[in-house]
Amino acid sequence: MTKIAITGGTGHLGRLALSAILRRDPGADLVALVRDLDRAADLGVPLRRADYHQPETLRAALAGVDVLVLISSSDFNDRAGQHRNVIDAAQAAGVGRIVYTSILKGPASPLMLAPDHIVTEAALATSGIAATILRNGWYTENYTGSLGGSLQAGAMIGAAGDAVLTTAPRADYAEALAVAALDASTAGQTHELGGVGHTLAELAAEVSRQTGRDIPYVDMDEATYRETLVSFGLPTPMAAAVANADARARDMGALTDHSGALARLIGRAPTPLSVSVAAALAAL
């Protein structure tokens, strides 16, 4: 039986991916690679300790693994180096295939978050390990996750202008990841994954419709948006990345993909925006 390991098992995407794999194949030989075993006790799968910054833990964690799902690190301290550590350990352990969650448009992405992914894709290409590259678009939660603050303020803010953003919730990307992990025929493939197209004004209109309140979208320039996010308490590097993503979506289409690859992988249309908004409001 093929042994599948997933890094970042306690993260938002990792947890959803584990569940998605088990829904598609309840008998899957699955192991979660996590930094903190105590935080992962509820995952319901075998655990192995693995830390991107500690190569010795990675080599032990990948013993006997056939397919490794490498969820990109959320620790911005040398992400490319962290990913390189995992790839090197996978080579040493004889892992047969890696599924990597990259960024939409890959080497063509103008986002400030892209270089780490570009370097990682290049490392995979020269590693000798078969790879499946999932270039994930923006999560719908990147916008709906701040609805509480938007409702309190009476407006949604951003810097994307009237750009069409093809977003999908994490659960949709987790399904795509599950398909790629379970299907050996995806080896060597790269998928650009975009969800439902909408502007931020249309998102605000949907929030207004569901809440019965007038919640407009207020567009800002990149610098003003970044500074506003910092004033709300977002760390400066993250605020800069968020504002940069919106701005590059506006002027370069960085967050738009109409390939339909996500729908083809998961076998259904991506989750409608109205469903994502309803879920976010219900969670408040």
Domain ranges of the chain: 3-137+169-193+258-266
**Bridge partners for 49 per DSSP:** 34
Q: 155-187 pLDDT, tens per residue?
A: 999 999 999 999 999 999 999 999 999 999 999
Q: Which long-range contacts (CB under 8 A, 24 or more apart) does 151-155 make?
A: 151/207, 151/211, 151/213, 151/215, 151/284, 154/213, 154/214, 154/215, 155/204, 155/215, 155/216, 155/217, 155/218
Number of alpha carbons in the 13 Å side-chain half-sphere of residue 271? 20
Number of alpha carbons in the 13 Å side-chain half-sphere of residue 99? 28
Average pLDDT over residues 57-70: 96
Contact between residue 11 and residue 101 where contact means Cβ atoms under 8 Å apart: no
Write the DSSP string, 40-82.
Answer: GTTS-S-EEE-BTTBHHHHHHHTTT-SEEEEPPPS--SSHHHH
- What is the side-by-side strand order in the sheet with 67-70? 47-49, 29-34, 3-7, 67-70, 97-103, 130-136, 190-193
d(CA 63, CA 93): 6
**Bridge partners for 198 per DSSP:** 165
Q: What is the mean pLDDT of the chain?
A: 97
Residue 77 has pLDDT above 90, yes or no: no
Number of alpha carbons in the 13 Å side-chain half-sphere of residue 196? 20
Average pLDDT over residues 44-58: 94
Average pLDDT over residues 192-198: 97
Q: 212-221 pLDDT, tens per residue?
A: 999 999 999 9
pLDDT of 76: 83
Largest CA-CA distance found in the chain, in angstroms, rounded = 57
Q: 93-114 pLDDT, tens per residue?
A: 999 999 999 999 999 999 999 9
| CATH class of domain segment(s) 3-137+169-193+258-266 | alpha beta
Average pLDDT over residues 132-156: 97
Element (H, E) at 135: strand 130-136
For residue 43, the one-letter residue type is L
d(CA 158, CA 73): 25
Q: What is the DSSP letter of 134?
A: E
Model confidence band, residue 75 (pLDDT cutoffs 50, 70, 90):
confident
Which residue in this structure is represented by tokens 């075993």?
Answer: 37
| Of residues 165, 158, 164, the one with CA closest to residue 219 | 158
